[in-house]
Amino acid sequence: MSPKFAPSRRQVMAGLAALPAAALLRTPAAAQAADVPLGMVLPFSGATGPYGPDMKKAAELVVKQVNDAGGILGGRKLKLFIEDSETNPTVGVTGTKKLLEVNKVELVGGFWGSPIALAAKPIILAADKVQMVSCAANAVTDGDNKGMVFRFQAKSTSWGPAGAKVMKDIGAKNVVVLAQQNPFVVAMIEPFKAEMEKLGGKVSQVVMYNPDQPSYRSEVEKAFGADPDAVFCLSLLTDFVSIAKEVYRGGFKSKIVSLSIGADAEGKFLQAVGPEVANGIYHIQPAPPLDSPAYKKFVKEMGAPAGTVFLFAGNAHDQICATALAMEHAKSSEAKVWAKSVFEVCNPPGEEVDDVVKGLEMIRAGKKIKFVGAGATCDFDAKGDQINRSFLVQVVKNGKNEMVGVIS
């Protein structure tokens, strides 16, 4: 443009003032600086409430690390919104809708609890956003998920065989299953029975019960009354507290193998029943790589003593890490775009990295990375299921959890 036709500064300012505010917000500079909204649905009350605070702390830790290092995508900061599921699918769905419709998030993560994740899944997929879960029911990754659902946990069908191996190790051949009726637990039962047969044992009966019953006495008497070698208790915290007390009052002698979400729950089980009731109970849970540098570093960052076992906080940490890295790799915060990059930054080949800030720097430098998380190695199959998970076996002795070993 020649000087003769160049507009004056006053004319430019007048022209800008006449533009709608929305048009100004869409300028490249403004878009570049916009926050990247991420959401999580976590439990802070109910049966799974003990795990919410540490998951929240772990997710916020990653957000701070990324933002302190300059953010992603040329300086955009992550902004985390968290809703309480109250361990209730209806409440979880309400929180999910708020995250999607009000906070406009590109990720809805967290999801401790299969019923909550399953209830929220169709809403998230209809909005073309990514769902990341820390729950186990196989149904979460079944069906057409558009490549936008990722499980940061072992599938339910993997838990059953792990429980059978514990039964073999403690010498239990004739066993009973006592299980809560929910999709997470039900999927464990048949694989458990199959593995027991393979290992030379048998399941003599399966006793089911509903969540939040006023009493579990009749189910306990049915499961333990035949005096099996052991009972595999597939329970959550609130029901297992009642079940364990009924077993103790009834004087039953069968060994108990349970899930850590029932027989530990960040120490809440022991607080509720006391050491005498809890003594001798074995429990299992998919575990983080306890001896890995990534996990040890995470424990330190969480401000916890060395050797602390965080069963779910590492999963929340890894969800935010994988999201930030995938967005940077895809050069986009649009869920349909960056979801494909989760496989690119988490699965081999690539240079292993367990630090999200370093990983972002490597991606910007054009390097192929393979993210190794605090909760797991973070390898995914085509359905979005995390593979190569291990299970930690513990037993309650003298009012404390003692590590027995790790099962692959």
Reported as a single tens digit per residue, the pLDDT across 128-181 is 999 999 998 899 999 999 999 999 999 989 999 999 999 999 999 999 999 999
Q: Write out the two tokens for 350.
A: 């690539």
Among 146-155, 285-294, 313-322, 357-366, the range scoring the smallest mean pLDDT is 285-294
What pLDDT, on the 0 to 100 scale, is given for residue 52? 94
pLDDT digits (tens, 9 = 90+) for 11-31: 444 444 444 444 444 444 444
Q: What percent of the chain has pLDDT over 90?
A: 78
Question: Residue 184: its pLDDT value, please?
Answer: 82
Question: The whole model's pTM is what?
Answer: 0.80
DSSP codes joined into one string, 106-163: SEEEE--SHHHHHHHHHHHHHTT-EEEE----GGGG-S--TT-EEE-S--HHHHHHHH
Q: What percent of the chain has pLDDT over 70?
A: 92
Binning pLDDT at 50, 70 and 90, where does residue 2 land?
very low
Strand arrangement, sheet containing 174-180 = 202-209, 174-180, 230-234, 255-259, 282-287, 390-397, 400-407
Q: What is the pLDDT of residue 266?
A: 76
pLDDT band at 344; cut points 50, 70, 90? very high
Is pLDDT of 5 > 60?
A: no
- Assess whether pLDDT exceeds 90 at residue 301: yes
Give the pLDDT confidence of 244-288 residue by residue, as tens digits. Answer: 999 999 999 999 999 998 998 778 899 999 999 999 999 999 988
Residue 26: helix, strand or coil by DSSP? coil
Cα distances from 231 to residues 239, 285, 404, in angstroms, run 15, 17, 18
Lowest mean pLDDT across 17-31, 178-192, 201-215: 17-31
Res 173: pLDDT: 97
* Distance, CA of 209 to CA of 191 (rounded, Å): 19
In terms of pLDDT, which residue wins out, 326 or 112?
326
388 burial (CB, 10 Å; 0-12 / 13-18 / 19+) is exposed
- 123 pLDDT higher than 60: yes
* pLDDT score, position 240: 96
Predicted local distance difference test score (pLDDT) of residue 33: 63
* Pairing mode of beta strands 202-209, 149-151: unpaired
- 393: Cβ–Cβ under 8 A, 6 or more apart, which residues? 166, 169, 282, 283, 284, 403, 404, 405, 406, 407
Range 330-335 average pLDDT? 97
CATH superfamily, domain 35-155+294-387, is Response regulator (3.40.50.2300)
- The reply to whether 35-155+294-387 and 156-287+390-407 are identical in fold is yes
More confident residue, 90 or 311: 90
Please say if the pLDDT value at position 212 is more than 90.
Answer: no
What pLDDT, on a 0 to 100 scale, did the predictor assign at position 191?
A: 96
Question: What are the extents of the domains in the chain?
Answer: 35-155+294-387, 156-287+390-407
Structure confidence by residue, pLDDT tens digits, 45-98:
987 888 899 999 999 999 999 999 999 999 999 999 999 999 999 999 999 999
Q: Sorting pLDDT into bands at 50, 70 and 90, what band is 300?
A: very high
Which CATH code for domain 156-287+390-407?
3.40.50.2300
pLDDT band at 183 (very low <50, low <70, confident <90, very high): confident
Question: Which residues make beta-bridge pairs with 402?
Answer: 395
